[in-house]
Structure 1
Amino acid sequence: MTTTRTTLAEIAAEAGVAVSTVSKVLNGHSDVAAATRVRIERLLSRRGYRRSPVARRPARTGVIDLVVDEPDSPWGLAVLPGVAEAAEESGLGVLVSARRPDILLPRGSQGAVLAVSALTDRQRTGLDRRAIPFVLVHGAGQAHRDAPSIGATDFAGGCAATEHLIALGHRRIGMIGGPDRLPPARARRAGHGAALGAAGLPADPELIRTGDLTHAGGLEAAAALLALPDPPTAIFAADDLQAGGVYEAARRSGRTIPGDLSVVGFGDLPYARWLAPPLTTVRQPLHEMGVTATRTLLRLLNDERLESPRVELATVLVTRASTAAVRRGTRSAGSP
């Protein structure tokens, strides 16, 4: 009687994964999601698949990379815990690198989460040529729409921030956006404009400023807004660090927050809660973005098909003490 030996292709087909994923399990690789590994192990056992002695060696330790714009990037630090949590689920470690995705090329990274504001065409080509799987976090994914990316609902967040200020009676609302080259900055500014339009308020170009997503950028832009003959009674900054600069500009001009000026930020970094008064801001689910990006990377390492290259997680307005109803008697307290 002839016994037909089970093949890897048959195991892979029944498990719904690629043959290479089954091979990784057999060879003890750690870069396979826990649930996928269990499913394959059960099929191997049920089918009586005979492993070679080499395939019985213990799983090796694997590492993925997290690349951020700056070594002390508050965004990178906020994403890191989620990346580490999801990596640990599959027995992987995380290395953090700053500024250069191409640093991954010579060291043979298994894969990377890129929490960067921009990815150049040259860097993308290098990653693709070396077949290094990667997932983008934040805005860079909108510039590479075919690349796996995790973002947030920036347009909706911009709407929510401005609607909040309108509901408090503010009619002259300043907006400090990020550089136009960054898709999230454009989306937040568009959301701000949409909220003004829905409320029947004119979009005054004089009240729209652009600055770097830094404290200094917010300070410079806010100082210009507050120096206007008819200054805003509220400012929506497209980044929490910019909002910190708005606080300093208000202090320098003798204004109080929120008595003379209401301020809304974007991001909900830990920094937002440390400001005095604590900052009303649009929360990006940065921890969840890190978790989702890493789990997406693990699916790529397992040769699993993604339903969509782009995933956007919901933002939500967090109201704190930096916003209040506009004072009676100001021009902005009247009807539009």
Structure 2
Amino acid sequence: MQSQRRTTLADVAKAAGTTVPTVSKVLSGRSDVSSETRTRVMRIVTELGYRGRSGRDAPSRGGRSPFVDLVLSGVEGTWANRALSGVEHAAEEAGIDIVVSVARPPDDAWLTRLLARRLRGAVLALVDTTGEQLATLAAARVPIVLLDPLSQPPSTVASVGAANWAGGRAAAEHLLALGHRRLAVLAGHRTHLYSQARIDGFRSAVTQAGLDLPDVRVVHTDWRRARSAEQATALLRDTAPTAVFACSDTIALGVYDAAAALGLRIPDDVSVVGFDDLPEAQWLSPALTTVHQPIAEMGSAAFRMLLRISNDPPHVAPREELATRLVVRGSTAARA
């Protein structure tokens, strides 16, 4: 039986209505291609499932830079600093230098820069990648690892994350053990994979305890403190929970602000649990009970995984999930 013919650069060029050199320029991050052509080529690459390989029908791997790119969704805050610290530590051990980029959606200029640098590979941390971007990286044969992916990655893409579901469940079990029965959740974006996993884990423990967590007590916000404070104010005022699970420490800061504005005492009037265990968690008064996420270790694990798959590409992309643990401090107390 004859095997199915592989898609070639010529097939991509024909379907995109352009030339093979132009397709090669797109996959090499060249700037002398119009944005319309670049978008069209990336779409065709995705539709045809083209994947670059060695040989004459692919951009050569020769001349690859020895650097690895760490692409972050932003550099503000201690989450990014811890991720960078973990990647840098593993890179130093391996004797490899890193380049740091920032991906600012919806602009995909970071992708063009990454392709143009012809790096050894890239770790993408909290970057909301599209299917077309992932397909373009695969076509250009750039190994990548997603660190804490925002959406479920395809089976062909490697990733490292945290045990978000287990962390959310641990937060609920702690509050339930303290006697809290009227619980609420202040979560991040609905579409973010790790945010939903934390909610699902929290809800599983509440349901197992025979309690209800109605939708009115699960509020979604963004990850900014000010916006979280606005949402938390309405949540605390309108639903009067005795305990709130904030799906990040930054969101928990917003809950603290809202409680202060409403004259509520933490933990006397409302207990608060966060998620991440950033340094800010210990600076609060009272110090924040939170779920520790091993961010630096995740960064190191993602870098080491990238080296493994770049040296010996696997048939199935690896996945790794690092354990979380609850850290109990002063923001939670038994329900009187």
Give 3-state SS (helix, strand or coil) of 1:317's partner. strand
Aligned to 2:81: 77
Aligned to 2:261: 252
For the pair shown, which has the larger CA radius of gyration, 1 or 2? 1
CA separation in 1, counterparts of 2:141 and 2:313? Answer: 15
Q: TM-score, normalised on structure 2?
A: 0.75
Aligned to 1:293: 302
Given that 2:183 and 2:213 are in contact with CA atoms closer than 8 Å, whether structure 1 keeps it comes out as: no
CA separation in 1, counterparts of 2:315 and 2:170? Answer: 30
User: Does 2:101 correspond to 1:97?
Assistant: yes
Q: TM-score, normalised on structure 1?
A: 0.75
CA separation in 1, counterparts of 2:189 and 2:217? Answer: 16
Q: CA offsets per residue over residues 84-113 of structure 1, 9 Å max, x none?
A: 111111111111111154031112121111
**Letter of the structure 2 residue corresponding to residue 83 of structure 1:** V
Per-residue deviation at 1:305? 3.2
Give 5+ residue unaligned stretches, structure 1: 1-59, 328-336
Aligned to 2:72: 68
CA separation in 2, counterparts of 1:306 and 1:244? Answer: 43
Per-residue deviation at 1:268? 1.0
Given that 1:278 and 1:320 are in contact with CA atoms closer than 8 Å, whether structure 2 keeps it comes out as: yes
Q: CA offsets per residue over residues 20-56 of structure 1, 9 Å max, x none?
A: xxxxxxxxxxxxxxxxxxxxxxxxxxxxxxxxxxxxx
Given that 1:234 and 1:263 are in contact with CA atoms closer than 8 Å, whether structure 2 keeps it comes out as: yes
Give 5+ residue unaligned stretches, structure 2: 1-63
Q: CA offsets per residue over residues 172-220 of structure 1, 9 Å max, x none?
A: 0110111111111111111111011111111222211111122123212
**Letter of the structure 2 residue corresponding to residue 194 of structure 1:** S
Aligned to 2:172: 162
Instruction: Rate the CA distance shift 1:159–1:186 in 2: closer, same or farther, 3 A.
Output: same
CA separation in 2, counterparts of 1:247 and 1:216? Answer: 11
- The Cα RMSD (Å) is 1.8
Give 3-state SS (helix, strand or coil) of 1:140's partner. coil
Per-residue deviation at 1:307? 7.0
Give 3-state SS (helix, strand or coil) of 1:75's partner. helix
User: Does 2:197 correspond to 1:193?
Assistant: no
Q: 1:140 aligns with which of 143, 150, 162?
A: 150
Once structures 1 and 2 are overlaid, which stretch shifts more, 317-326 or 133-142? 133-142
Q: 1:238 aligns with which of 244, 247, 265?
A: 247
CA separation in 1, counterparts of 2:308 and 2:226? Answer: 40
**Letter of the structure 2 residue corresponding to residue 296 of structure 1:** M
Q: Percent identity?
A: 45
CA separation in 2, counterparts of 1:262 and 1:65? Answer: 41
Aligned to 1:219: 229
**Letter of the structure 1 residue corresponding to residue 168 of structure 2:** G
How many residues are treated as equivalent by the alignment? Answer: 267
Q: CA offsets per residue over residues 45-98 of structure 1, 9 Å max, x none?
A: xxxxxxxxxxxxxxx983211111113243221111111111111111111111
